[in-house]
Copies of this chain bind each other. A is one copy, B any other.
Amino acid sequence: MSLKFGILGLLNHAPMTGYNLKKLFDKSVNNIWTASLSQIYRELGALEKNGLVSSYIEEQDDRPDKKIYSISSEGKKAFMKWLSECPETFVSPKRDEFMLRVFFGASLEKNEVKRQFEKFLEDRKAAAEFLEKDEILIPKFIKSPENEKLGFTMEDGRYIGFVIKRAKMSNRLLIQWAEECIKELGE
């Protein structure tokens, strides 16, 4: 239900192709919402049919032609409506495969569980490397030459900062949690 609004929200900054949208998705909203290309194309088709976005073709000789999508005024209205109405529920569906494994851990040898936890830890530490080392910095994101045209403002930066902050905090927490679990499994 929200992929729609993710797309509208990005198009609200600047018109772009489905392909571009996917790349922006991966770089920006990705911590929050994932989408595959085919999903995006399908959704764009549906949005166009409903008049929330419009498109035109930009021809290219060397590469496949581009189909550039823009948000319509209808689309802006729909986006703003969604954004401003406060949701009654804040819990989003959770489907965490690793946690399922942990839950059923007793059926497995302790050392095997431990090994899985250790791989999990590695994974989180790799993520930390990326998250903590200035790889994700709001000004960097906003002022990068590729994103310059996207019209992200400093005010956007504040909110993107909130998202990044949460990602960092969560990641640190997961590392701590995993370490404590491993320690408890250790003796």
Contacts and interface: CB of A to CB of B under 8 A. Distances in A.
A112 interface: yes
Contacts of A99: 31-33, 163, 166
A119 B162 contact: no
Nearest to A92: B96
Contacts of A9: 100, 103-104, 107
A32 B159 contact: no
Contacts of A1: 97
A186 interface: no
Interface in A30-51: 31-34
Copies of this protein in the assembly total: 2
Nearest to A90: B123
B108 A84 contact: yes
A62 interface: no
Given A169-B177, A170-B170, A170-B173, A102 B2 contact: no
A153 B107 CA distance: 10
Interface residues of A, number: 65
Contacts of A86: 115-116, 119
A160 interface: yes
A94 interface: yes
A166 B166 CA distance: 16
Of listed A80, A96, A98, residue having the most chain B CB within 10 A: A96
A95 to B, nearest CB: 5
Contacts of A6: 100
A59 interface: no
A169 B163 contact: no
Q: Nearest 10 pairs between A and B by C-beta?
A: A105-B159, A32-B99, A106-B155, A106-B156, A9-B104, A90-B123, A92-B96, A2-B97, A162-B181, A90-B98
